Amino acid sequence: MRFNHFSIIDKPFEEKLADLHALGFKFETQFSAKRNLKNWLLHAPIDLTTLAANGKQDVLAFLNSDNDLTWHIFYAISLQLLDFVANFEFQLTDSLDFARSVNLPLVDTTCDLSSENVLSAIYLLMNTRRKNGMTLVEHWVSENLLPLDNCYHFFNDKTLATFDTTQLIREVVYVESAVDTQNRGTYDLIKVDIIRPKFDGKLPAIMTASPYHFGTNGVANDKKLHDMTLTLAEKPLGIIEISDTKLALKTYPKTELPNSETTEHFTHTWTYSLNDYFLARGFASIYVASVGTRGSDGFQTSGDYQQIAGVTAVIDWLNGRARAFTSRQKTALVTADWATGHVAMTGKSYLGTLAYGAATTGISGLDVILAEAGITNWYDYYRENGLIRSPGGFSGEDLDVLAELTYTRNLDAADFLANNTAYQKQLADMSQSLTRNSGDYNSYWHARNYLPNADKVKADVLIVHGLQDFNVTTSHAFKFWQALPKHVVKHAFLHQGSHIYMNNWQSIDFSETINAYFTAKLLARELTLDLPPVIWQKNTVAQSFESLATFGAHDIERLTLGGACEIASFDNHYSADCFDSYSQNFQTFKADLFENKANAIVIDVPISKNMRINGQIVLDLRVKINDTKGLLSAQILDFGKKKRLNNVSSILDIKTIDRGRNFMLDDLNELTMADKPYQVVTKGFLNLQNRKRLTERVTVPKNEWLSAEMRLQPTIYELTSGDTLRLVIYSTDFEHTVRDNREVRYEIDLEKSRIFVPTPTEKEKNDN
């Protein structure tokens, strides 16, 4: 394994000593280093009889001997405390070399073993991750190093698990939003699940907004899926006019009601393990599903600012600016008298999407968002450059399909009777507005685009996104990163996985890093964490992360596609049997496509030097087709058999991460290496009628050469000298696009076509 630590905060020696003293470890700097080491080990929650100091002595024998302490002995003991197995995983006489091989954080081992140096080494070790995915200090706290006193304790400016999770308060409130999505003449109520530890003071909140939280309607979802076997439509020419409508809030009278305690409670519910981690550390967990979901009012408006308003209403309530009721009958008010008003938002996919949306309202009280694989423009999720494009793995899905999945009020029979007829009318209107006949951007999609409101963001923005995520593609993270004003604090974690969480990986201290950040932002403490702008997982080796200056480099490397007068071509049409086979299993199509067995132009470009892609690869293509409508698809591969990272994490150990004190146990995961014939680097799609710009539909002159620029999905990817970059250009993609089987021939003038690859400038390289 390999450690990657970003959460460790460098502190003056006096503060290190104070942190250690707060844990119950008393040191005297006038004592010898060995005596202080002995004092530390004797007071730690460990069985010293199981540890060895060197090849001849166990730890107790060494501590009671006259033998001198060396750095080899110190780190031999340390590695065992981190759960590495002596004699099998490392040799006691070779501890330093092994420690360096796993990138263990080390003090300067060329310095003498003074008390101060050894105590600094102990402090650093306490902040180091064990093999089980917990830092040593957190592991020991889970083993009762500190009492469960429901008070805040800090180590290295992070909160510790000292809140009793066996006594959690679980309550339900109904927050009054500022919207009326059914036009009933009353504000929609939003059901909210709250889980909070007992505490004498006020607590900050970590909120996850998920329309899936109270269930999903899979039956309605599956019935609504669209048939992707369609002929590409030829669109009328002209400019698409976009109206920028603002959310109009209505004003309704509010009746006076008495205050009361919460009356509705719950036992079990879905929770995000990162939120569970913070529950044990003195942060409340809030789960909200917003309008149109089970237990709430309203219709599912699917990503617009009405749905966002249903989320931000909860932040308003936590800050005393909105009302909440003890039940849907609205008989009594309930206040968040336990809340400080400081809020962070977390979550992946739709959850991260609503975090992005909430941040773009500029709402007061939202201090930081952790948006993981979130959507920042709903058009870019279901469309691309004038084309219908299904998210990776979800062919036939569209926004109206997702609405059916998440309109869970229909799961309650009484709600179905009262509201389904009106809801189905709204759903039909949505289906009409989605432009499935054209794939065009329009005002409906514009109302679900958060990017124009990025200038309103006040919260710090932490972005997490998988560079192999072709469900919520990397363009969402990249465009939001680029759109944020300079004064907004932003950081990105870019891993090599697909649409997955990374908070329980072995190789990176992600949870502890977020702990340091949330502790500062939500508990009004100084942010001492020195976090780089971008933390990027290398694609060439396992368990390796690197600090980068930015997402999106500024130098351009130009690669040519062919020689003088070189023309390549492919046909769009497949035989009936082949078309049916690819339609039934797009994985078969992808395998044939990448291995040059499908209808495509395949160009292998040898890489003669080490190259790091950082940003959007652009294809500048000279194209001719024998029709007046067409689509282009392109993928770039790192081609050639070698070991590469899997894009889905594997379980290394079951239920080994303790999120509190024998509270919620999480699996230890990691992206592992495997032999692969190729790796997708990026991909992109384009309707040739939208080749000028998204909001303009132009002609496709039959049998005439035209220029088409394709911006592919942003990525950061490293190629080494001797690698092969494989460019695949084709039309119908059986995973993503409409399955158009017309007899159309595409030609590409390779001499006049180029690949433009963004690479870091010298300054950007030096800033890493």
77 near 71, Cβ under 8 Å?
Answer: no
Q: How many angstroms separate the CA atoms of 296 and 304, rounded? A: 17
Mean pLDDT of 91-98: 96
- DSSP states along 164-176: -GGG-EEEEEEEE
User: For 370, phi and psi rounded to 5 degrees?
Assistant: -115, 90
Q: How many angstroms separate the CA atoms of 564 and 20, rounded? A: 71
Q: How many angstroms separate the CA atoms of 517 and 514, rounded? A: 5
- DSSP states along 16-52: HHHHHHHTT----TTS-HHHHHHHHHHHSSS-GGG-B
**Which residue is listed with tokens 């759960």?**
83
576-584 and 586-594 are packed helices; what angle lies between their axes, rounded to 10 degrees?
110
Confidence (pLDDT) at 761:
79
Q: Which positions ≥6 away from 45 have C-beta within 8 Å?
A: 140, 143, 144, 145
> Does the annotation count 499 as an active-site position?
yes
pLDDT tens digits, one per residue of 403-416: 999 999 999 999 99
636 near 681, Cβ under 8 Å?
Answer: yes
pLDDT tens digits, one per residue of 643-664: 999 999 999 999 999 999 989 9
Q: Which of 316, 367, 380, 469 is catalytic?
A: 469
Token readout for 697 is 């539909």
Cα–Cα nearest to 318, from 456, 190, 154? 190
Strand locations in 392-532 (E) = 460-466, 490-495
Token readout for 595 is 């291995």
Report residue 10's pLDDT band, with 50, 70 and 90 as the boundaries: very high
Q: How many angstroms separate the CA atoms of 302 and 311, rounded? A: 13
pLDDT tens digits, one per residue of 440-464: 999 999 999 999 999 999 999 999 9
CA 49-55-61 angle, 5° bins: 40
Radius of gyration of the chain (CA): 29
**How many CA atoms does the CB half-sphere of 213 hold within 13 Å?**
29
Cα–Cα nearest to 343, from 355, 352, 329, 333? 355
| Cβ atoms within 10 Å, residue 646 | 17
User: For 454, phi and psi rounded to 5 degrees?
Assistant: -65, -25
b/e map 299-324, b = 16+ CB within 10 Å: bbbbbbbbbbbbbbbbbbbbbeebbb
Confidence (pLDDT) at 248:
85
b/e map 341-355, b = 16+ CB within 10 Å: bbbbbbbbbbbbbbb
Helix (H) or strand (E) holding 81: helix 71-81
- DSSP states along 352-390: HHHHHHHHTTT-TTEEEEEEES--SBTHHHHEETTEE-P
Amino acid at 742: R
| Cβ atoms within 10 Å, residue 742 | 14
Cα–Cα nearest to 675, from 719, 638, 641, 720? 641
Token readout for 253 is 């009278």
If 0-12 CB within 10 Å is exposed, 13-18 middle and 19+ buried, where does residue 743 land? exposed
Q: How many angstroms separate the CA atoms of 332 and 543, rounded? A: 53
The β-bridge relationship of strands 238-239 and 696-697 is antiparallel
Q: Which of 95, 142, 296, 349 is catalytic?
A: 349
Token readout for 693 is 């710009």
215 alpha carbon, distance to own chain's centre: 22
Q: Which of 142, 499, 511, 740 is catalytic?
A: 499
Positive or negative torsion for Cα 39, 41, 47, 49: negative
Q: Is the pLDDT of residue 764 over 80?
A: no
Q: How many angstroms separate the CA atoms of 316 and 684, rounded? A: 40
CATH no. of 169-230+240-455: 3.40.50.1820
548 near 532, Cβ under 8 Å?
Answer: yes
The β-bridge relationship of strands 203-209 and 339-345 is parallel
pLDDT tens digits, one per residue of 193-250: 999 999 999 999 999 999 999 999 999 999 999 999 999 999 999 999 999 888 888 8
Mean pLDDT in the chain?
96
Token readout for 47 is 């069985």
Confidence (pLDDT) at 244:
87
Q: Is the pLDDT of residue 393 over 90?
A: no
Cα–Cα nearest to 376, from 270, 484, 282? 484
513 near 470, Cβ under 8 Å?
Answer: no
Long-range own/partner contacts, residues 251-259 (CB < 8 A, 24 or more apart)? 252/180, 252/185, 252/186, 252/187, 254/323, 257/325, 257/330, 257/331, 257/332, 257/333, 258/332, 258/333, 259/332, 259/333, 259/334, 259/335
Percent of the chain with pLDDT over 70: 99
Confidence (pLDDT) at 488:
98
Amino acid at 481: W
Q: Is the pLDDT of residue 765 over 80?
A: no
pLDDT tens digits, one per residue of 111-140: 999 999 999 999 999 999 999 999 999 999
Query: Residue 615 pairs with which residues in a beta bridge?
Result: 715
> Does the annotation count 364 as an active-site position?
no
Confidence (pLDDT) at 636:
98
CA 482-485-488 angle, 5° bins: 105
Query: Residue 284 pairs with which residues in a beta bridge?
Result: 205
pLDDT tens digits, one per residue of 314-332: 999 999 999 999 999 999 9
- Which class does domain 555-646+673-767 fall in? mainly beta
Percent of the chain with pLDDT over 90: 96
Query: Residue 264 pairs with which residues in a beta bridge?
Result: 172
- Residue-range domain boundaries for the chain: 13-148, 169-230+240-455, 555-646+673-767
Phi-psi region of 215 (alpha: psi -120 to 50; beta: other; left: phi over 0): left
| Cβ atoms within 10 Å, residue 291 | 30
Confidence (pLDDT) at 768:
63
Q: Check if 169-230+240-455 and 555-646+673-767 are the same fold.
A: no
111 near 155, Cβ under 8 Å?
Answer: no
> Does the annotation count 5 as an active-site position?
no
221 near 404, Cβ under 8 Å?
Answer: yes
pLDDT tens digits, one per residue of 423-436: 999 999 999 999 99
Q: How many angstroms separate the CA atoms of 289 and 311, rounded? A: 8
pLDDT tens digits, one per residue of 27-42: 988 999 999 999 999 9
- DSSP states along 448-485: TB-GGGGGG--SEEEEEEETT-SSS-THHHHHHHHHS-
Amino acid at 255: T
User: For 438, phi and psi rounded to 5 degrees?
Assistant: -130, -30
Amino acid at 169: I
